[in-house]
Homo-oligomer: A and B are copies of this chain.
Amino acid sequence: MDRFAPMPAPPYYAVIFANQASSTPDGYGDMAAKMAELARAQPGFIGLESSRDAEGFAITVSYWQDEAAIRAWRENVSHLAAQKVGKARWYEHYRLRVARVERAYEGPEGR
C-alpha cells in the first residue's frame, strides 16, 4: 500500500509527469530518491505514485493540497537544480500536466 498516495477528500491537485529517460541517465536514481524525500517535506504535499518500466518510460504523479504548494515545490532551490540536470541529461522527452482532482475511488472492495 505504500506505493499508493493517500486519498484525502477532493479537491486537491495532481502533477502528472510522464517522461522517457535518456539512454545514459547517470545519477538519476539517487537524485529521484532525494527529490521524493524533499517533496515529502514540502508543505501541502499529499503523496506520490511512480512507475518506471524496462524501456525507461516513467509516470510520476505527485499530489498537492493546492496550487500554492505546487508553486513552492517548483521553486524549491534543490528541486530547481535537479530540474536543470534533468533537462540537460536525464530526459529524452517529458510531458507535465497539472490537474485538479475532482473525485477518487479505490478497490477492489475488501482488499
Q: A residues touching B (Cβ–Cβ < 8 Å)? A: 1, 3-5, 7, 13-14, 16, 18, 20, 49-54, 57-59, 61, 87-88, 91-109, 111
Contact = CB atoms under 8 A, between A and B. Distances in A.
A52 B53 contact: yes
19 contacts: A1-B93, A3-B57, A5-B18, A5-B95, A16-B16, A18-B51, A51-B59, A59-B59, A87-B107, A87-B108, A91-B107, A93-B107, A94-B107, A94-B108, A95-B105, A96-B106, A98-B103, A99-B101, A100-B100
Could you tell me the dominant secondary structure of chain A's interface residues?
strand
Contacts of A13: 99
A104 B94 CA distance: 11
